[in-house]
Amino acid sequence: MNRIRSFARIAVVMSIVAAVAVPCFAARGKADFTRFVAIGDSYGAGFEAGSLNERHQIFSWPAIIAQAAGLTLCPTTALATDNCFAQGLIAFPGLPGGETVYNGVGLVTIPGSGGPRMAGFARPYNNLAVPGYTVGATLALTGAEPTSGLGQVILRGLGTEVDQAIALKPTFIAIWIGGNDFLGAVSQGSPNTLTPLASFTAQYGAMLDKLIAGAPGAGMIVGTLPNNFLAVPLTRQQPARDPRRWQSHSPLHGPRRRNVWPPARRLGRAAQRADRSGPGFRSPTYPQDHPPVQRATPCGRAASGQGLDLAH
């Protein structure tokens, strides 16, 4: 769950930074949030602790940006004609199963599951992010397929993420998708699970082309992912915490003691130094010539035009 929390925090920061038009964050058009739509995956959906539920969905990065832009989050009683930012809210403890929590001793899963609270909402949700989706899924899955996962309660068979975004006639679209195209490679330590570069480039380009053609007047921002896999703070297994190291930082345990790092951490740092010492800073686990997501993102499509105009 640490990687979900880490990426969720990064999502919020990156999206807010993107909203002030940092160069080559693939911005185009005006920052008009009258009809704001978000496309993405678990980061955007508000998935947390193994569960998608309303306690976390209201803190998704699209919801935070919507409120910062002056929009109201739709309550479960909202009508399709209400001018609010709609999300597919799910009752606690959420889907696909119970939420994982810390009970003071260890991690436990709250039993049961929650159901959709806005299934009858008569228009697409503004937050169309679906946990587990790849770039290709934003163009292919509608929520009607048995394999569409949580898309069944977010997309509801009304169309793909891209199609529903266009149907809302958006004035601004925020996109952060691609994590599931490379997350497995990082968490499993295998570049073989990366979406091939050619496929990723073609799918990302098709997604942006369709959005621009369907909503030519909409402002747009595209968030990318780390170009260097070594920079991603993920491991397959977290090193054991050494209590001596943590005690040295606590005034409750008397005088400070020497920092003692677990052997796994020391080895990890040594390996990282070794990775960076070779030609081209190549890693035996994550070779730099394998699909770097940022390089594969066709910035030119989204950045064409006058750039993001925050004066409107």
Q: What is the pLDDT of residues 26-41, one digit of tens each?
A: 678 899 999 999 999 9
pLDDT band at 17 (very low <50, low <70, confident <90, very high): very low
pLDDT band at 204 (very low <50, low <70, confident <90, very high): very high
What does the alpha-carbon distance between residue 144 and residue 136 come to, in Å, rounded to a whole number?
16
Report whether pLDDT(58) > 90: yes
Of the candidates 52, 48, 14, 8, the one whose C-alpha atom is nearest the C-alpha of residue 174 is 14
- For 22, 36, 71, 218, the CA distances from 32, given in Å and listed in that order, are 17, 8, 11, 8
Q: State whether CATH 3.40.50 applies to domain 2-228+291-303.
A: yes
Q: Which has the minimum average pLDDT: 50-64, 118-132, 288-302? A: 288-302
Q: What is the predicted pLDDT for the residue at 227?
A: 65
Report whether pLDDT(129) > 50: yes
Across 298-303, average pLDDT: 40
The DSSP call for residue 39 is E
Report whether pLDDT(141) > 50: yes
pLDDT band at 240 (very low <50, low <70, confident <90, very high): low
Q: Which has the minimum average pLDDT: 104-118, 214-228, 237-251, 252-266? A: 252-266
For 210-239, the pLDDT digits (tens) are 999 999 999 999 987 766 656 666 544 445
Across 94-111, average pLDDT: 92
User: Domain spans of the chain?
Assistant: 2-228+291-303, 246-281
Count CA within 13 A, CB hemisphere, residue 165: 31
- What percent of the chain stands above pLDDT 70? 64
Q: What is the predicted pLDDT for the residue at 173?
A: 98
Judging by beta carbons within 10 Å of its beta carbon (0-12, 13-18, 19+), is residue 146 exposed, middle or buried?
exposed
* Beta-sheet pairing, 107-109 with 27-28: unpaired
Residue 71 CB contacts under 8 Å (≥ 6 apart), including other chains: 33, 36, 84, 85
What does the alpha-carbon distance between residue 275 and residue 271 come to, in Å, rounded to a whole number?
6
Examine residue 196 and say whether the peptide bond preceding it is cis (omega within 30 degrees of 0). no
CB atoms within 10 A of CB 274: 11
Across 65-92, average pLDDT: 97
For 173-199, the pLDDT digits (tens) are 999 999 999 887 777 777 888 899 899
User: Cα 62–67–69 angle (5° rounding)?
Assistant: 95
- For 239, 276, 281, the CA distances from 286, given in Å and listed in that order, are 20, 12, 10
Q: Which has the minimum average pLDDT: 10-24, 134-148, 240-254, 275-289? A: 275-289
Q: What is the predicted pLDDT for the residue at 231?
A: 62
* Beta-sheet pairing, 219-223 with 27-28: antiparallel
Judging by beta carbons within 10 Å of its beta carbon (0-12, 13-18, 19+), is residue 32 exposed, middle or buried?
middle
Report whether pLDDT(23) > 80: no
Give the mean pLDDT of the chain.
Answer: 75
Identify the residue with better confidence: 21 or 159.
159
Cβ distance 42 to 26 under 8 Å? no
